[in-house]
Structure 1
Amino acid sequence: MAGFWGNRKREREELAAQDADLAKRAQTSLVAADERIRVTSDELVFAEAELGPDSTKELREALAAVKQHLGEAFHLHQLNHDEIPDTPEELRTRNARIVQLCEWAEELLDDRTEALSARIARARRAPEIIEGVRADAQRLRTRVPGARETVQRLAARYSDEALAQVDANPSEAEQLLGFAEHGAGVAERRREAGQREQANMALEAATESVRRAATLLDAVETFEVEALRAESTLAAIVEDSREDIAVALKEPHSPAVSDAITKLQAALSALPAAGVNTDPFTQLTRLREANSGLDAAIAAARERAARVIPPLEHVRHAIDDADRQLAVARDVIAGHRGWIGADARTRLAEAERVRLDLDRFLGTSAAAATQIDEDHREQAMAMARRAATLAGEALQLAQRDIDQSRPQQGPDQWGGGYGGGRRGGGGDGLMGGILGGLVIGSLLDGMFD
């Protein structure tokens, strides 16, 4: 007994220590959350001044929600220290709720202030960013004449279709730079007038315009390099394509290979003569597609040549065998429906489904098909064999059900009339099977006579 009471005492002491720690956490969390509200309120005032009320709406709403829930936390803390005595369970529940509310408040405010931190930092650096936009615009303007000269030089070598992606880039870049300089001026004037939200919008538009202008000018220089690379790759693919055609002509021919050779030859013939402005990107794409098509056709032809293609006669035999197996299984199950269980019926249904899929695969009734393409014979034979196998299984399962349902006595013994049961009595099982199978009426008449 002394050990029992000793353990109980230790448990009470540990629980009291945990409650004290929780109470201390509740007080600390409450102070921290209240201070965080005060700091965030100051940050909201600055953010609204820099970004405008629309941009700070979510932070303002979060701050209002936090203040409301923190009021609940203060009320719970007051209940812990009023004149009304509280049980340890009540104190524990309130302190846990206080900690939960305070942690939620700080997490929500962290999330909302972090979402605005980058924009606030950008607003604080607005004068510096405005000067950067102007400097970048001035630097990029010096590249515009060079880009125009590059486009003119490229026009002497490449077609209008090829240059369509970059020929307007210098003019567009110049317009964007003018817009960026104007936007920087608007941002500066709006800031001086205290219209911070409009100033930030103008500054963001100016910064984006400078970035897009730089991208357009870079694209002109990149085009020249990529066009030369495409021409070099095109020359290599032309040589490879001619070699591929020579190899393909020696391969076992199939309609697909012949068609792929024709398409590749047409793509080679469509290449412009020397000295004509070209579009190396389009020509390279067209030639690659034709070359890949020939490779795929040759691979398929080789795979088919390596396979043993079943003779048409064998495929026809497999289909006929499936039809015979299905016919037998259908007749047996239809003639003994009262005795046939779910397994046999399921196999028959699956066999019929596979047989129907075979007709769909061949596009006509397999039994009436006079020709089956070589590419379809192997799969057609597999489907026919699958249908025959399932039909055979259905027949075996049906025979099992019939054997289990037959009377166990001799042919002249009915086992005590209809009350003998399906297996033991015989009469009930036999008549149930016959009646369930809808045996022809003349047989029934003869048995009752």
Structure 2
Amino acid sequence: MPQSRKSPARRSVPVRALAGLIGIVFAALSLLCAPGAAAEPPARMGPQVVDSADVLSGADEARVTEAVDALYRDHQVKLWVNYVRDFDGMAPRDWAARTADLSGFSDRDLLLVVAVEDRGYWLHGELPTEVSEAELDSLLAREVEPALRDEQWAQAGVETAEGLGAAIRGGGVSLGVLALLALAVVVVAGGLILFSRRRRRGRERAELISAREIDPTDSAALAALSLPTLHELSRERLVEIDDAVRTSTEELALATGEFGETAVTPFRTALDAARAATAKAFTIRQQLDDDIPETPDQQRAMLLDLITTAGKADRELDSQVADFDAMRDLLIDAPARLNGLTQAVVELTARTPASEAELARLSSAYPTSVIAPVRDNVQMARERISFAESNIDTARAALTQPVGRQGGAVAAIRAAEGAIGQARALLDAVDQAATNIQQARDGLPAAIEELRSDLGVAAGLTEFGGPELSAAVTTATDAVNSASAAAETDPLGAFHEAVNADADLDRAIAAASDRKLAVEDLRRRLDRTLTDAAGRIDAASSFISTRRGGVDAEARTRLSEAQRHLDEARGLGGADPQRALSGAQTAADLGGRAMQQAQASVRAWESQQRRPVAGNAQTGAVLGGILLDSFLRGSMSGGSRRSSGGGGYRAGSFGGSSGSRRVSRGGRF
């Protein structure tokens, strides 16, 4: 009997264990089969608000939907919001980019993705032009991330939509300011005329703001704009594409040094096409600016061609941005890259005393006007070096952050590279100025001697030459006297004057003697004129490139036209040296005008700065075009630029003007 009582007890233990095991298995299967357990790969979005993570109530989803609808209704910006459980093992940036690609988003779409279990988010798309990067950073840090940390999922989406809308509204024209302005004009005696003019400018500015959003290939929309707006828009587009081409050229040179010619072939092809289109656009602008008037209809047709051409060039560059960024991922081997930049800073710092001594020698030997284009180059080079050092330190600090938060290093590396490149160009320009002056000094005696010889020939042709020869002889005689007097103090100017007068006298002698100049004589004069033109164009180009943030479209147009005439002159040298000589003279004249206008533009830019330019590294970087903001647009259209401390500035990169508005922000919460 005792044994019979113990036997059932022994059998009851495995039964309970088996029941527990079965319960565990069923629980595991339930977890594995739960809807939320599956990873969520990128997929095409249907509605603008998607909640596959199931964290929004019906009321919450309605709030987010109303916020994104209001953003589109008020500003035509589409914000898509996607709540998921995780990013399927992908980086947030890549998951967002893939979802946007699968959804067919355009440049008017922004995507906010939130992974509630991964505790990560990302904002992907192209930032509206009215929103600065500083405003975006403030919105994410102060509004969006705190809501996500508190698991207020709907509030995070609403804050994003409303914050973007508020930032866009903040960039518009204040109705209160306009009302006060109108009241002041009414009160002031005789203010009706002033009020009328200001109101007209307001309409033109409003039309210009609207025109900036027009697709450059939409000829019908562009044709509906007024002529003043088309002119202003054309100047803006020229400045933007010229800056884009110059920055892309600098970036491509760095990439070529890293990866070789073969790897950068697609980008060089795109840049060459954009450069050719930009040259065509500048030629059209030069024709509009010259002394030959066009009818309103002719102006409209030319302006439409210019804007469309510049727009296509801009898109040609933007089409290569993604591939270029992928090839030149600055976070790959970033420490070695920063070491190379540090070495470049050391080398440039070592060059500075010699350049300063050379500049001092030139200053003591020649008048201020001769060295004006390079007078500030050493000081500016030091500012660029200081700016580069600061950004190198910033990049090193960014690299100490966790993976996913090192994005600040990219902008800092780009800024340092741009500053180093400009510092090198500034110091090279000092050396080149000395070379140009020496070439002029060496060539001046022969130029004066040949001019005297031609004056002797012209004396025997007086009766055949008529007024043309007489005028040329007078000009040449004056040139001989002034060039001889200025040989020591202004060899560049004297050389230019002698060469130019000799070319005019040669043409007059050829006409009077009814024969062409001997080929060797003409080519000798052509060589000297080409040397003169190339020197003036190089000096203007270096000045504009290293101060492009303060140079307007007019100077750039003259420089582009000068380069076109110089290229044509070089191409005609063998077949038609007579036409080549005329083209080279025109190139030299336009190169000088480009320098004068660029210097005037930079002086105007410096006078408008709230902070002194000298000694201010960041302001110098803005002047050099290394950091970009909306100054040129604002200054050319009468607006004022918003200031947000150091925010709103961004480092330039390869691509067109719109490519630099790419948004890629996110992190952990």
TM-score interval (norm. to shorter): 0.3 to 0.5
Work out which structure has the larger RCO, using CA pairs closer than 8 Å and 6 or more positions apart in sequence.
2
Q: What is the TM-score when the length of structure 1 is the normalising length?
A: 0.43
Larger radius of gyration: 1
